[in-house]
Chain A
Amino acid sequence: METKAGKKVFNGVAIGKIHFYKKTENVIVRTKIEDAEAELARYMEAKEKAEQQLGALYDKAVAEVGEANAEIFNVQAMMLDDDDYKDSIENIIRAQHVNAEYAIATTGDNFAEMFAGMDDEYFKARAVDIKDITNRILTILCGNDGSSEIGDEPVIIVADDLAPSETVQMDKSKLLAFVTRLGSANSHTAILARTMGIPALVGVQISEEWDGKNGIVDGYEGKFIVDPEMPVLEEYFKKKLQDEEQKKLLQMLKGKENVTKSGKKINLYANIGNPSDLVSVLDNDAGGIGLFRSEFLYLEADNYPTEEEQFQAYKKVVETMGSKKVIIRTLDIGADKQVDYFDLDKEDNPALGYRAIRICLTRPEIFKTQLRALFRASAFGNLAIMYPMIISVDEVLKIKEISAKVKNELLAEGIQIGDVEEGIMIETPAAVFESENLAKEVDFFSIGTNDLTQYTLAIDRQNAKLDPFYDAHHPAVLKEIQMVIDNAHKAGIWAGICGELGADTFLTNIFIKMGIDELSVSPGCILPVRKAIRDAE
């Protein structure tokens, strides 16, 4: 058994035989020719045929994956007909008196290289399209038919890289999953895999020797297992069944509103901790991001992340989400999340210690850098900021002073900023009892039930001995939630829940009765909670 890691493209589990897919190799030799005009005619003829093939692929793709995804084949046809691309091929044939194959391959390489060298990931990925169209004409000229047989049995396709055209050409009934060495999560093939609902991984170190062996693709964990042992196989058969259940639910509930029988709408958002989770946010049809933990930026670094690094990360997330709301929580380091370069003292009681906003307010330079990055990113989408571990109105006033200063500095520098809602987490009993006054100072409340429960019940959740005493549905916690919602509404702001309790479908109905406006849950819980909302009165 061998396990390889890869980048997740589409959630799901696939189990089956591995088929190692090899591209049609066109061996190109540079040969001198006498009649350049005849060679040009060969090229034109092949180009026309390639355009017809792309037209047919477009039609097949429209039927299978929709017009928006099929559009790439129209674009490829336009690339084929691009003046610079055509001129380059014609010039090489005429000036060097060489065969069309050589001229086309050289031109394709040059153009692909130009795109591969670009900074932006999206444009970089277009090098694949150029290679694909180049390969298409070459295959026609070399007399290969361009199709690769994958046999009768459904298989997991393992390949170095797959062009969108290769993906669409494959018989979908025989495709279990894609695993490629190259490619990004933004490539068209990745988008197609998502649209077709096929589990896929990219960036996997593949081996040709796997051909014909059994494999498991775990699109949730980003793992590819070759030659799985029996217990692993059994575990994955179970996982696959669960996955299929979930997908059925998805089909039924995707695109539906989060609305109760009596017509009350609830905002259902996702909790995430890393930009790589965005894929599952979109797959599960979340209405926005209700809690984006910004710690990953600090935990993955060896030193304080710069404003620019943070800005790029936040910008990417808000842009990907478009007009949907993205609530980013400022750093919550300390307690169970330790970072060396913060140089924090060892504490006897870290949960009650120097963490989150307490660090931000005593080390404002760290806080300001993060706020600058957040406000800058706010120009690119619908961004909101949330402050954790609040216990008093005084803290909120201090935060607002710093945030106003940061905003003014940016505006003075001529930097555009968006309309940013600023809210707080309610996760301490103090904040609950002060919620009436806090509500007058902020735009929203998000109740962090994990910490709130731990502080209210005085129970350490890491201590298994205390399990018999722990009650997730403790009436004290439910009363606190009710109080927070009431005080929010009295001040005209909204209140949501972003802790684990928000995903507890036993309570969905109760939360709705309490008047909750938003629930933010892990991506995998979105659809079950949507179902609970739709079943509620």
Chain B
Amino acid sequence: MKSFEYTITDPVGLHARPAGLLVKEAKKYTDTILIHKGEKSAEAKKLMALMALCILKNETITVTVEGENEEATAGELEAFFKANL
């Protein structure tokens, strides 16, 4: 399993539009991608579950990737977070 931490910079947090972007991106991979905030977590491929985490600006989340290509996927996802969220 690979993981990385990321702090959201989008002013309103992971709201509908960026969450939608993330879901689209996550669906490109076959690995299992989980977003953790505190003790709660949600699959990055599920929009509503993701939004239900209520992730706000300046909050730090942990992203874990598990699967065949976890190494590459985690790297690409981290770049995606930095560029978009």
B1 at the interface (CB under 8 A from A): no
B56 at the interface (CB under 8 A from A): yes
A249 at the interface (CB under 8 A from B): no
Q: Is the CB of B20 within 8 A of A322?
A: no
Question: Which B residues are CB-close (under 8 A) to A118?
Answer: 52, 54
Give the nearest-CB partner of B15 in chain A: A122
Return A86 CB to nearest CB of chain B, in Å. Answer: 10
The B-contacting residues of A in range 110-134, CB under 8 angstroms, are: 111, 114-115, 118-120, 122-123, 126, 129-130
B58 at the interface (CB under 8 A from A): yes
Name the residue among A82, A85, A114, A118 with the largest chain B CB count within 10 angstroms: A82
* Segment of B31-39, B41-49, B61-69, B72-80 in the binding face: B41-49
* Segment of A73-81, A218-226, A456-464 in the binding face: A73-81
Among B46, B51, B56, B58, point to the contact of A126 (Cβ < 8 A).
B51
Q: Is the CB of B48 within 8 A of A84?
A: yes
Among A72, A82, A120, point to the contact of B54 (Cβ < 8 A).
A120
Known: A79-B48, A82-B46. A122 touches B23 (CB 8 A): no
A379 at the interface (CB under 8 A from B): yes
Return A243 CB to nearest CB of chain B, in Å. Answer: 30
Question: Which B residues are CB-close (under 8 A) to A78?
Answer: 20, 23-24, 47
Query: In the assembly, what is the distance between CA of A123 and CA of B48, in Å?
Result: 11
Q: Is the CB of B52 within 8 A of A115?
A: yes
A319 at the interface (CB under 8 A from B): yes
Query: In the assembly, what is the distance between CA of A85 and CA of B46, in Å?
Result: 9
Question: Which B residues are CB-close (under 8 A) to A322?
Answer: 11
Query: In the assembly, what is the distance between CA of A74 and CA of B57, in Å?
Result: 23
Return B21 CB to nearest CB of chain A, in Å. Answer: 10
Q: Is the CB of A122 within 8 A of B48?
A: no
Known: A120-B56, A122-B12, A379-B58. A115 touches B51 (CB 8 A): yes
Known: A78-B23, A82-B46, A111-B48. A129 touches B16 (CB 8 A): yes
Q: Is the CB of B47 within 8 A of A119?
A: no
B40 at the interface (CB under 8 A from A): no
Question: Which B residues are CB-close (under 8 A) to A115?
Answer: 51-52
Query: In the assembly, what is the distance between CA of A380 and CA of B58, in Å?
Result: 8
The B-contacting residues of A in range 283-331, CB under 8 angstroms, are: 319-320, 322
The B-contacting residues of A in range 468-486, CB under 8 angstroms, are: none
Query: In the assembly, what is the distance between CA of A123 and CA of B49, in Å?
Result: 12
Question: Which B residues are CB-close (under 8 A) to A126?
Answer: 15-16, 51
Query: In the assembly, what is the distance between CA of A78 and CA of B52, in Å?
Result: 15
Question: Which A residues are CB-close (under 8 A) to B13?
Answer: 120, 122
A37 at the interface (CB under 8 A from B): no
A208 at the interface (CB under 8 A from B): no
Return B3 CB to nearest CB of chain A, in Å. Answer: 22
* 26 CB < 8 A contacts A-B: A71-B16, A71-B20, A72-B17, A74-B20, A75-B16, A75-B20, A75-B47, A78-B24, A78-B47, A82-B46, A82-B49, A83-B45, A115-B51, A115-B52, A118-B52, A119-B54, A120-B13, A120-B54, A120-B56, A122-B13, A123-B52, A126-B16, A126-B51, A319-B11, A380-B57, A380-B58
Please give the residue numbers on chain A whose beta carbons come within 8 Å of chain B beta carbons, in ascending order. Answer: 71-72, 74-75, 78-79, 82-85, 111, 114-115, 118-120, 122-123, 126, 129-130, 319-320, 322, 379-380
Known contacts A75-B16, A78-B24, then 13 further A-B pairs from the complex at CB < 8 Å, ordered by chain A residue: A71-B17, A71-B20, A72-B16, A74-B20, A75-B17, A75-B19, A75-B20, A82-B49, A120-B56, A122-B13, A320-B11, A379-B58, A380-B58
